[in-house]
Amino acid sequence: RLQEVPHDMRQKETLTPALIRTVAEWSIQAEAHFGSPQDVEWAVSGGEFFMLQSRAITVLGKKDVGEGIDEPYVIFKPLLENFTDPLTPISQDGISLLFAPPLIRLISGWTYLSVKHIRKLLPIRASDQDVASTLYDMNLREPGKLSLPKLPFFSCMMLLAYFAAGVLFARTRRMPDSFMDSYRALCEKVDNDPTLSPVETFERLFSWSHFLEPIGHHAIFINLTSMRYILGMDILKSLVRRWAPNIREDAEALLCSGTDGVLSAEMGRGIWALAKEAKRHPSVRRLFETIRPENVLAELGREPEAETFLKQLDHFLRINGHRALKELELQSSRWEEDPAPVLGMIRNYLLIESDPSEHEKKIEVTRKELEATIRENLRKYPLERRFSIRWRLIRYVADRTKFFTKMRENSRFYHIMGFYCIRKKILHIESELMTQRKLRCKDDIFYLRLKEIERMQAGELDWQHVEDRIRNRRMAHIRLSKTLPPKTVGMGMESSPETPADMDTAVVFHGLPASPGSYEGVARVILDPSIDIELRPGEILVAPYTDPAWTPLFLTAGAAVIEIGSYLSHAGTVAREFGMPCVVDLADCTKRIHTGVRIQVDGDKGIVRLLADDDMGNDSG
């Protein structure tokens, strides 16, 4: 059986230093006795150590990730920067339904892009190394030389892509904020149809076959078309630097921030509103401060003063209940199923006396001052004084970029709703199979393949057929989850020349700039916001990755440093929206930087500096 562990105990140390030494000593003795590395099994009862068995270790014989693959692949970073764990087998099957080979390949649960096939599509002469670096960084450093023999094929491919996606581009060019609301109704309709299997649900919610339906029904394709904002940002930067060259470095990011209606940002503000409601009632606040998040909901139900709060929480979950940590993984429990992460965030906000919205107001003032400065710079052009031609062009490009940025974040909000719909179908099947004793433990089903589930429903497989498969896949998933996947498979990839050779002794760490500005403050390392959620106002968030479920933390942080990410990642997008510096793709930052250490984050250059005692001053933004 599997025993549920409370949230606040999941990262608590289970072994004392003395016990760790005992285990290590017995392991060394076993290896010396048998003459090879040993897989040692042991137990503790009543504080006494018992050696159970020792056998030749088998893990060392297992292949490394990608071993035996000769073709070059690079990790699909947009998925990795949302969570670093490998996908469970059932989620791998779901991704395979969305993205077909040969461009995409799943390796040990992680999604990789084929460098060879993508290089063949590009009309330039570029090495595998150049293509891999570009795909990983999401930034074309060297465009390479044009290859004339490849140009006709590339032109045909672009023409086909235009016919395939051009209509979709046109249909999403100018839409109101509410145009994807119909996707919620579609998900409810699919959810209420018991005849649809998980595979059929995937097809109904994410397939091109329903292309003629309202555009709001195609959330995942809308997400892909919204990438137009990358081009908008490049054009805006070119215009601003050409016509106002001495303007502040974060001008483009400021001009494209402050967008109303970004649903992930509204979600964070919704949690802050719940915290304010809890503050109004001393008894409600006391419950949050004394009871663990996973238990506080039951106590709130018995508290008369919590009635308004609970109604507000219910409304929040009706809108955002499909969200989750690691929400692209079908195994991840949703807030509607378990609101403990939301209640933990509310508890965190109860520790804050200041209003996070004050920071947003300051950014709005800064943005207006910037716009006034740009317009003043443009007055040196004769026609500008009369017609404001250049300013109108800058404003137009900035507005278009903001529109597509918001579309990208909001379409993610909706297509995750589709993933939750599929999860509910899977959970319904799991319940049936557990009733029939074909499955024994909660979440076992996520370690099966879709075809295996269909065979179990048809009576072709039973528990004895899948028991070993599930156990072995669970163990492999746990083992792989403790490591980061290699950036490339079947090839090497050079490190950035800016990366220090010895990160352990370096005072300055180099990542990628994601949101401009400079900030000094105290670091707070958070590995899982459902467990170690406490982030004090002005502290610098240091995290392995972020997805929209982390957004509330950005309301109180002074800056962010993220281990996996890019300029286009969720962390960078939200940080720019809130006007806070952010550095991403800083390797091992959650290990190199410790909670309580004072650091400086330079979001313009992608640098994080550890500050010595005599460098420490007041926080600055």
Over residues 277-283, mean pLDDT: 94
- Arithmetic mean of pLDDT, 195-210: 90
Strands (E), 238-346: none
State which H helix or E strand residue 243 sits in: helix 228-243
Helices within 12-69 (DSSP H only): 17-34
- Return the higher-pLDDT residue of 276 and 135: 276
Residue 388 in tokens: 């404001």
pLDDT at residue 447, as a whole number: 97
* 217 DSSP 8-state letter: G
Among 102-106, 414-418, 478-482, 568-572, the range of highest mean pLDDT? 414-418
% residues pLDDT > 90 (the chain): 46
Written as six digits, the tokens of 518 are: 């400079």
Mean pLDDT (the chain, rounded): 86
155 C-beta neighbours (distance < 10 Å), count: 11
The DSSP bridge pattern shows strands 518-525 and 540-543 to be parallel
Beta strands (DSSP E) in 32-148 are 38-45, 48-56, 73-75, 104-107, 110-114, 124-125, 145-146
- Residue 102 CA to residue 100 CA, distance in Å, equals 7
Amino acid letter, residue 261: G
Give the distance between the most distant pair of CA atoms in the chain.
90
Characterize the bridge pairing of strands 110-114 and 104-107: antiparallel
Is pLDDT of 150 > 60? yes
Asked if residue 497 has pLDDT above 70, the reply is no
**Residue 450 — pLDDT band, cuts 50, 70, 90?**
very high
- For tokens 């308004």, what's the residue? 308
For residue 260, the model assigns a pLDDT of 80
Which region among 65-79, 131-145, 146-160, 229-243 has the lowest average model confidence (pLDDT)?
A: 131-145
In sequence order, which residues have a C-beta less than 8 Å from that of residue 312 and are 6 or more positions away? Answer: 273, 274, 277
Residue 616 has pLDDT above 50, yes or no: no
Global pTM reads 0.83
| Greater pLDDT, 17 or 134 | 17
Among 4-8, 53-57, 455-459, 486-490, the range with the most confident prediction by mean pLDDT is 455-459
Mean pLDDT to the nearest integer, 93-99: 87
The helix, strand and coil proportions of the chain, stated in percent and rounded to the nearest 5, come to 55, 10, 35
For residue 532, what pLDDT is reported? 67
Task: Name the more confident of 382 and 317.
Answer: 317
Closest CA to 73 of 475, 458, 492: 492
